[in-house]
Amino acid sequence: MHLEFLVEEASLESALSQLLPKILQSAVTSKIHAFRGKTDLLAKLPNRLKGYQAWLPADWKIVILIDKDLEDCLKLKQQLEIMAISSGLITKSSAQKGKSFQVLNRIVIEELEAWFFGDVEAIHQAYPKVSPNLATQQKFRDPDAIKGGTWEALERVLRKVGYHLGGLEKYKASSEISQYMNPELNRPTSFKVFYRGSLEIIDNQQV
């Protein structure tokens, strides 16, 4: 089985390259395609999906992963659903219960960095000066609800203890933190939904 991941930027590609081997079975292959931001992904997605529909093998699946940012989550998810269905592909949401699907659409609530705050131990392992008790602070207890932007929050946390003093290098931070992340223990709801969906798409092998 093979999974094609379509993501909006390189730091998410970097994180997935570390996380997928921990999530997927050894017999499952994957490839990550990073775009030049959300606007670029949404603009190119319809033609990309039509291209897949023309030749997608029976044991291939597509996973689309995009940040919510400031958009309405339901509207953004509906936009992705319409694009996939209009291309002739079956999404998880449109498939009948128990039936197979070809496309899994998932929204990262707020931003990728929320997933990092969902595994403070991984942040601590990558950057030992960061307190391992960070998650006990009220503003970090719900990573999906961190106010003012999660990448800005991560930048403040790291700079406060002497890391990324020139500004957060998102790709570098993503690579360094994600290598220590434990997908089974990650706390944000958005990650749990992505994790469960990834496992389900593996089990759903017949199109």
User: Dihedral angle at the C-alpha atoms of 135, 182, 171, 37, nearest 10 degrees?
Assistant: -90
CB 68 within 8 A of CB 8: no
pLDDT (average), residues 90-109: 86
pLDDT digits (tens, 9 = 90+) for 11-36: 999 999 999 999 997 889 999 999 99
Q: Which residue has the higher pLDDT, 185 or 110?
A: 185
Q: Average model confidence (pLDDT) for the chain?
A: 91
Contact call for residues 62 and 31 (beta carbons, < 8 A): no
Question: Is residue 18 within 8 Å of residue 179, measured between CB atoms?
Answer: yes
Neighbours of 130 (CB within 10 A): 20
Give the C-alpha separation, 198 to 189, whole Å: 14
Structure tokens at 34: 């990073």
Span 142-182, pLDDT tens digits: 998 888 889 999 999 999 999 999 999 999 999 999 999 99
User: Residue 90 carries which DSSP code?
Assistant: P
Q: What is the pTM of this model?
A: 0.90
The hierarchical CATH code for the domain 2-109+188-203 is 3.40.50
* CA pair distance 59, 4, nearest whole angstrom: 11
Q: Structural domain boundaries of the chain?
A: 2-109+188-203, 113-184
